[in-house]
Structure 1
Amino acid sequence: MPWNDQQADRYEHWFTTPLGQFILDRESRLLQRLVSTWPRRRQGLLDVGCGAGHFSHMFWEWGFDVSGIDPSPAMLKRARKRMGDRVDLRVGVAEHLPYDDNEFDFVSLITVLEFCNDPQAAIAEATRVARKGLIVGFLNRHSLYYLTHVRSRKSGRDSLWAGSSWFSWWEMQRMINAAIGRQWLLAKSVLPGPVWTWRRLPLFKQACGLLLPPYVGTFAAVRIDLLGGPARTPLMAWKTEPSM
């Protein structure tokens, strides 16, 4: 069910809170680390389930040519306000993308599979329209945050997580393998502790940003390279002998 204006406003407001900003910063650092070897210049990236455009804007700042798609017009309205004309936005669902095969170099699915009717089909569709790779960000069902803050609340009507499905790392691996076969994967996670540790005090901040195995932290991400190995940023080509 696409989010309405009231839900979209609550989602946007959450990202303005100190906790929301802290979490977004930790997630951003993990994603940036995972895509660090991908080429950027003239590389098209489709952000599936782009929502209000927080991650779309990050990918744009990192140098990708970004497009976005989301089932919620309310969320896309906020993405347009954030991004202006720098990104092409469309209404659509992850399981049926209105794009040609291999239309994009890369595709991202950041905390969108949790809300899909068929997450495995969404991964397969993302692979269909991507030539080089995918990055999937997901919420870890085995994390301390899920066990202490989400499991008992996500059935509530007013919860932003109402109707969502969190995944374990092993479930995510099985979905990826079933959707596209075995590929080269790199997966890490952040935010390992309970929510009271998610603070900007130096020791807590450092612990929350550690790149841990994907089954530990609350937010995990996996990079899937579709070309038989990790995509690499080309080395600089010298036209003349470099001077010492």
Structure 2
Amino acid sequence: MPLPPPSPFHQHIALPERTALLLSMLAPWPRRGRELLVIGCGAGHVLPPLWQSGFDLSACETSPALREQARRRAPQGVEIEAASPDWLPFADNSFDWVLLRADELPPAALPAALGEACRVAACGLALTFWNSASLPWLTWRLHGRRHAWPGHCLPFWTVWRLLAARPGRLHAASCLWRPACR
């Protein structure tokens, strides 16, 4: 049986909120002349905002159908490679920055993908995922799951433990849908 379509909540509220949070978290990163690799770019929704914010982009995706959608959305000059997140065909420190979209991965693949992301990142790594304690996830679980959830959910502390075992400073942020005045 096919999955139901993603909800309007995810398409019009949660995903734009996540994109805004991502751009604010990456705001301190130098951009011009720096390359950002997006691992698990999915259908490429995040590529245009990252490009417009000044990053030189490369991306990888395992699914041929999603890669094709990402190529249609990607700005001209953005290369989208066929690569598995747990085995990247790039040399160590190939990219200044790396964005790993963990919601696009099966949870069991996260430790290997995180290791590969750290290996190819020279300056920094950002990791996005759907938090299993978030208001959108809990609402979806309570209201009958009429729509497909757009990715894998992970407990925040599981992800934090994986990151805490690596050297460097850690920053965390979360976005929840809320009225604009708050």
Partner of 2:161: 174
1:31 pairs, out of 7, 16, 22, with: 22
Whichever residue aligns with residue 159 of structure 2, its letter is M
SS of equivalent residue, structure 1 residue 188: coil
One-letter code of the match for 1:204? P
Unaligned runs of 5+ in 1: 1-5, 192-197, 208-244
Moved over 6 A (4+): 151-154
The 3 A distance-change label for structure 1 pair 71 and 55 is same
CA RMSD of aligned residues (A): 2.7
Q: Report the 3-state secondary structure (helix = DSSP H, G, I; strand = E; otherwise coil) of the residue aligned with 1:96.
A: coil
Q: Secondary structure at the match of 1:176?
A: helix
Shift in Å, 1:101: 0.4
The answer to whether residue 73 in structure 2 is matched with residue 86 in structure 1 is no
Aligned to 1:190: 175
- Give the counterpart letter for 1:189 in structure 2: S
In the TM superposition, residue 159 of structure 1 has moved relative to its aligned partner by 3.5
> TM-score, normalized by length of structure 1?
0.65
* Contact 1:120–1:176 (8 Å) recurs in 2: no
Larger Cα-atom Rg? 1
Show structure 2 runs of 5+ residues with no match. none
Match of 1:110 among 101, 107, 120: 101
SS in 1 for 2:170: strand
Maintained 8 Å contact 2:103/2:153: no
Shift of 1:59: 1.2
Shift of 1:68: 0.6
**Distance change (3 Å), C-alpha of 1:130 and 1:153:** farther
Partners of 2:137 and 2:172 lie apart in 1 by: 19
- 1:168-197 deviation line (CA, Å, top 9, x unaligned): 22111111133xx24201111111xxxxxx
Paired residues of 1:44 and 1:66 also in contact (CA < 8 A): yes
How many percent of aligned residue pairs carry the same amino acid? 32
Count of matched residue positions in the alignment of Structure 1 and Structure 2 = 180
Q: Relative CO higher for 1 or 2, CA cutoff 8 Å, sep ≥ 6?
A: 2
Q: 1 CA distance for matches of 2:85 and 2:170?
A: 21
